Each structure stands twice: as structure tokens, then as C-alpha cells.
Homo-oligomer: A and B are copies of this chain.
């Protein structure tokens, strides 16, 4: 398991042996149930234990606004802001010719299928890495001819950051993407 080496594993094993049998059983059952029940949401492909995730089945959210992210963890990060009221689409990866990850390996076809519905805007919120940028560019070229508004989250100086500690590429992006006040 990630982050657990031989010593930590031994410590955890000894801890479990010292616990009451019922509580170990409860943990084991929870793990089995989680693995069996968790699946992809049939709309946005995030992890959920129902057919549709709570976000996709929430009628108060704006289903005409789709934010495209790479992983369910990115979705969780945006949900924590508490200000985004659209829905998501989880790609489960990003295009990477280097690693041999092509358009068929991410949930791209599924995104295009969703756009047949009443979608107003697609926000590309893939990571700001080479792969994330490539994926965003690729998707925008697919979507724009469909007449759907397509935007990219802003790239620039993070909140609270001191300019002197920020890398040159980010400073350059912040300069190029400057907004008139």
C-alpha cells in the first residue's frame, strides 16, 4: 500500500491483533463493502456508491455547466471551494503520448456524448502540467465546432504567493493573462 513500508505494516498488524475481534471484523467488512459497492457515476464518472453521484442527481446544480477534471480528487478539491454550482466530468487521466495514453484511454467519448444534451459551457480544469494542457487544447478543438462555449481555468500567481518565490513560467502566464481593471 502507498506510504506503508515493512515497519509501518508490522506496527499496524500488531495494533489490529490487540483490538477486540468485533472492531477488526467491522473494518474488514467496511473495506469489502467499499470495494464492492463503489463504482463510477454513470454521468460524470466520479466514484460513488449509487448509479448517479450526489452531484449529478442534485437538481439544484447547474447541469448546463460541466467542469472537466482529471481525477475524482480534483473534483473533491473544487467541491471544497463551495462556490461552484455546475456539474463535473471526470476523465480519469490526461492524454500523454509519452506514456501511451490516448483518447480512447480517458473518458473522452463519454464527455462528447453528454454534450448532446443541453450544455451551455464546458470548463476545462485539467492540471496545469504538460499532459493537462495538451488534453485541454485537444478537447477545446473538439468542442468549439459544436458551438458550445469552452473555457480554461486561469493560470497565474496563486493566492498569498510572493512573486519572488514563483517560477518564471507562472510569472509569464500571469503577465500574458493580465486582466484590465
Nearest B residue (CB) for A123: B178
Given A164-B71, A164-B76, check contact A159 B140 (CB 8 Å). Answer: no
A160 to B127, CA, bound (A): 7
Question: Interface majority SS on A: helix, strand, loop or mixed?
Answer: mixed
A170 lies within 8 A of B159 (CB): yes
Cβ-based interface call for A34 (8 A):
no
User: Which of B77, B83, B149, B157 lies in contact with A154, CB distance below 8 A?
Assistant: B157
B171 lies within 8 A of A78 (CB): yes
Given A158-B166, A166-B77, A172-B81, check contact A153 B127 (CB 8 Å). Answer: no
Cβ-based interface call for A144 (8 A):
yes
With a cutoff of 8 Å between Cβ atoms, the chain B residues found around residue A22 in the complex are: none
A56 to B127, CA, bound (A): 38
Subset of 14 A-B contacts with CB under 8 Å:
A70-B163, A73-B164, A74-B162, A81-B169, A81-B175, A127-B157, A128-B157, A128-B158, A151-B181, A154-B156, A154-B178, A156-B156, A156-B157, A177-B177
